[in-house]
Amino acid sequence: SIRKATALVKKQPADFIVVEFFYAYSTNYSGIYKSNIEGLLVSLIKYSPSTKVIVLVKKKEMQFINVLDAVDYPVHGVLQLPTSIAQMEDLLDIA
């Protein structure tokens, strides 16, 4: 879960995090966030600023991926699901 990932990063910074993006069509998340991972990105700014984030996103959600631009944390790469091992390896190789 995102909460567990955030807690782990606070204890020990990670080189990479791979996370699936979900757009918040309602306010199930925090009222200020429009996706499931914005809170994680905000935590990374403070606790693990060198972590590279790879975002997996379904085709229907791809149109909303720009909501992550509101957080001042760079996303290393975005892969549309289904993705391949080769695509993931390409992102890991440009680290």
Q: Which amino acid is at 95?
A: A
Distances (CA, A) of 52 to 10, 16, 23, 63: 15, 5, 21, 22
Q: State pTM to two decimals.
A: 0.89
pLDDT tens for each residue of 5-56: 999 999 999 999 999 999 987 655 556 778 889 999 999 999 999 999 999 9
Domains and CATH numbers, the chain: 2-93 (3.40.50.2300)
